[in-house]
Amino acid sequence: MEILRTPDARFASLPGYPFEPHYTEVPAGDGQSLRIHHVDEGSADAPTILCMHGQPSWSYLYRHMIPILVEAGYRVLAPDLVGYGRSDKPGALEDYTYQRQVDWMTAWLTANDVRDATFFGQDWGGLIGLRMVAENPERFARVAIANTGIPLPKNLPADRVAATKELRKTMPTPTPEIMAQNLSNPNPDAPEQAFAYWQRFCWDNEDLPLGLLIAGTVDGRQLSAEEIAAYDAPFPDPRYKMGTRAMPSQVPTLPDDPSIPANEKAWEVFSRWEKPFLCAFSDNDPVTRGGDQPFLDRVPGAKGQPHKTIHGGGHFLQEARGQELAETIAAFITSAPPT
């Protein structure tokens, strides 16, 4: 495995991100090790909130929320997934799988001995983090999520599965406009095909415009040129972007996906989860709209919690609704002591 490491100079003087870096070495799985970066703010004795980001962002996404949560009396841990932010970046597309990301972050979790934490995850931060929580439930006091899920596409008809696989193989590289149009307006007869356009767009573009992609999914706030550049900072050239290109194709959207059994096991855990569980999804994310309902229906700990639909914000609601989201999480912790 070729492992790339972004030079520290790329992270100097990023707007709104004054946090000191912290690093943990974890096994890469091939005899090497990977260095995972995390933010650690607040008193070490304070209740811990673990915030996990998704694709194609990094812990910079939480810069608005971290000071609010620290001021409220919490310790905030915000790691960068492998392939993102200040964490190491394997250099080949095949290095990245759903299971490897879960394994790497679980190794980080145990190495840092995180305990009695409140988990918060969005996008891939939820897909990976919820699996991690399900495998280590004793380390978590409660869970909050936004715009994420544990995909379990088990009941698609065979003809739709075949059509989606054919579309993945034969579609030309979609333009940003075509990709966005299909995500926002999926075919009602085959909604599973919409995400294939995002998967193909990321897979085919060696030099993804990551900062612009994030800016384009934020509703209610315009990112500055400096903030867009900060989202691009971890990726000096296209070689560093393999993780951002590979991970969309690891989202299980068809019933024969190799991650389905592990996701089923995670759902078994959450179907018995009695600890407090909060959903705070935005109302205008085309990718995850309605994704809170399975958790509200199936997780015992979700009953009676102060779930909130956040109006606006788009997919990366941490940008436009960071204060509201942070205050929602803090209020949830106060109102939901560990069971």
Strand partners, 303: none
Q: Is 88 a catalytic residue?
A: no
Torsion of CA 160, 162, 165, 167, to 10 degrees: -70
Cβ atoms of 111 and 38 closer than 8 Å: no
Q: Is 315 a catalytic residue?
A: yes
Q: How far is CA 258 from CA 148, 163, 190, 198, in A?
A: 19, 19, 21, 20
Q: Minimal CA–CA distance to 81: which of 43, 117, 127, 119?
A: 127
Cβ atoms of 74 and 47 closer than 8 Å: yes
Separation of alpha carbons 46 and 336, rounded Å:
16
Separation of alpha carbons 118 and 328, rounded Å:
13
Structure tokens at 303: 């009953």
Q: Is 237 a catalytic residue?
A: no
User: Annotated catalytic residue: which of 123, 189, 237, 257?
Assistant: 123
Cβ atoms of 228 and 19 closer than 8 Å: no
Cβ atoms of 239 and 4 closer than 8 Å: yes
Catalytic residues: 123, 285, 315
